[in-house]
Amino acid sequence: MHPDALGQTKDALATVLGERPPPDLASHVVAAFAQHVNPGFLEARKSVTEAGDEAAVEWEGQGSLVRDASGREFIDLLGGYGIYNLGIRHPDVIAAVEAQLHRSPLHTQELLDPLRALFAESLAAITPGDLSRAFFCNSGTEAVEAAMKLAMWVTGRHTFVAADNAFHGKTLGALSLMGKERFRAPFEPALISTTRVPFGDAAALADVLERAEVQPAAVVLEPIQGEAGAVVPPDDYLAEVRRLCTAYGVLFIADEVQTCLGRTGALFGVDHWGVVPDIITMGKSIGGGVIAVGAIVSTPELWKVWEPDPFIHSNTFGGNPLACAAGIAAVHVTLRDHLSEQALKKGQRVLDEVRALSERHPDVLHDVSGRGLLLAMHFASNEVGYAVAAGLFRRGVLVAGTTGNARAVRIEPALNIADDLLDEALGRLAETIDEVAGR
């Protein structure tokens, strides 16, 4: 033990309690990241380092505004890569979590926990078709694991089909579906056998299923690819995937970890095309931006394998009372405040404005893609993307590239971002792109 462990933890707790002035924090946090977390993170925060300030230490936020420890304010156009559909610290979610916090933050594990039942009921109310049984976990990747296990269990088969450039998480099962070689390669061959097909190409999927000697347990797809750069498939794609899966007796898992709860301008990505998958995975925004929550929802038919022994796949913290309180509030606020509709309308505005910028500077900004408020700007190169992200950072706007690649820079703000704040952010974006184009 460090000789001053007691003093160190006292200071750390004082920071948590807000007793230590935040401006002191920056250099301490940078050093502690380097020594106790991973110095690689300091290098990876490229937009921040290129902007000449690697010590931007997050301190507080509300709605679509974030402040760092020195009091600088940023407009949040990133939305935590899709966790902040409701913005930061939404008052209704905080109230729900606080109410539960004062009753019982976790559960005994033995008595029936009421909020788990109510949250499952809420999810059944908003998911398509007869998807009506829910299982809870604490992250997106765990949701994908649960969906994969359910598919293997129901079909008795052990392989999968996933899309090129797909992102489904980084635990071993979900990682097997990963499109990006960089994340997968160090762990092969320990992963589950997965055939990859081009996203959006139904004929390629038909070919794989047609030629398979043994069918896969499931086809796993993001309805709109997020991490790949907000890629929207052709309009007939998901319906054709559904048809093929049914025809070949293969399950269809829609990974909606990033697209759930209104993000793309519909409650779920599959809703744009009226498609009902066999299993939907959720994560990110489903905890209302306050608690980490993951979930899968499926049909009574598939759930039958799970009923004789619910502990075959279970966990300690999934569906805990705080998580469910946050989730119930998040679903209600999404419906009450018409957040899907807001996302659709604001997303179209951003698309139009960014498209105009791309017409003004075609050499810098090649394209903009996505739907609702899951959007991405596609720049001429990594360097140009970083330069834009850094320029925006200097102007007090947060965005980020996809992991390890700034050619595609995502725009994924809160669905309820105020119009004047969105205007302001778009103005600063135009200024930044003009500047980068003029270099």
What is the smallest separation between the CB atom of 55 and ligand PLP, expressed in angstroms?
26
* 69 vs 86, beta carbon nearer ligand PLP: 86
Smallest distance, ligand PLP to C-beta of residue 31, A: 27
Residue 414 CB neighbours (<10 A): 28
Q: How many whole angstroms from its chain centre is CA 178? A: 15
Applying CB under 6 A, the span of 52-60, 69-77, 122-130, 136-144 interacting with ligand PLP comes to 136-144
Q: How far is the CB of 367 from ligand PLP (least distance, A)?
A: 21
Q: How far is the CB of 281 from ligand PLP (least distance, A)?
A: 7
Contact call for residue 283 and ligand PLP (CB under 6 A): yes
User: In the numeric block, which tokens belong to residue 242?
Assistant: 């559904």
Say if strands 405-411 and 58-62 run parallel, antiparallel, or are unpaired. Answer: unpaired
**80: three-class secondary structure by DSSP:** helix
Q: Are 109 and 310 in contact (CB under 8 A)?
A: no
Per rule CB under 6 A, count of chain residues that contact ligand PLP: 15
Give one DSSP letter per residue of 255-305, joined into a string: E-TTTTTTTTSSSSGGGGGT---SEEEE-GGGGTTTS--EEEEE-HHHHGG
Cβ closest to ligand PLP, residue 232 vs residue 384: 232
Measured at CB, which residue is nearest to ligand PLP?
A: 140
Count of other CB atoms within 10 angstroms of residue 30? 17
Token digits of residue 115: 């909020």
Q: Is 64 in the site for ligand PLP (CB under 6 A)?
A: no
Nearest to 199 by CA among 172, 226, 175, 176: 226
> Helices (H), strands (E): how many in the chain?
17, 15
Segment interacting with ligand PLP, rule: CB under 6 A, options 94-102, 164-172, 352-360, 393-401: 164-172
Q: From 65-73, 253-261, 308-316, 350-358, give the range in contact with ligand PLP by CB under 6 A.
A: 253-261
* Residue whose pair of structure tokens reads 């498209």 in the numeric block: 355
Question: What contacts 330, CB < 8 A, 6 or more positions away?
Answer: 85, 86, 90, 93, 261, 285, 286, 287, 288, 289
Helix H or strand E segment including 163: strand 160-163
Count of beta carbons in the 10 Å neighbourhood of residue 24: 12
- Cα 69 to chain centroid, rounded: 25
Give the x/- contact pattern for ligand PLP in 82-121, rule: CB under 6 A: ----------------------------------------
Give 365 or 411: the residue with its C-beta nearer to ligand PLP. Answer: 411
Query: Is 78 near ligand PLP (CB under 6 A)?
Result: no
Which one of the spans 3-11, 39-47, 96-104, 251-259 is the region binding ligand PLP (CB under 6 A)? Answer: 251-259
Measured from the CB of residue 102, what is the shortest distance to ligand PLP in angstroms?
A: 28
Contact code string over 361-400 relative to ligand PLP, x by CB under 6 A: ----------------------------------------
258 binds ligand PLP (CB under 6 A): yes
Look at phi and psi of residue 316 and say left if phi exceeds 0, alpha if psi is from -120 to 50, else beta: alpha
Single out the residue of 135, 167, 199, 379 in contact with ligand PLP (rule: CB under 6 A): 167
N-term to C-term CA, the chain: 53
Contact 256, 127 (CB under 8 A): no
Query: Closest Cα to residue 168, out of 157, 185, 183, 150?
Result: 183
Q: Per-residue contact track with ligand PLP, 138 to 157, x per CB under 6 A?
A: -xxx--x-------------
Nearer of residues 51 and 83 to ligand PLP, judged by Cβ:
83
Q: Report the nearest approach of ligand PLP to the CB of residue 150 (Å).
A: 16
- Cβ nearer to ligand PLP, comparing 88 with 224: 224
Which positions from 201 to 240 touch ligand PLP by CB under 6 A, shown as an x/- string? ---------------------x---xx-------------
180 contributes a contact to ligand PLP by CB under 6 A: no
Task: Give whichever of 257 and 322 is closer to ligand PLP, judged by the CB atom.
Answer: 257
Interacting residues with ligand PLP (CB under 6 A): 81, 139-141, 144, 167-169, 222, 226-227, 255, 257-258, 283
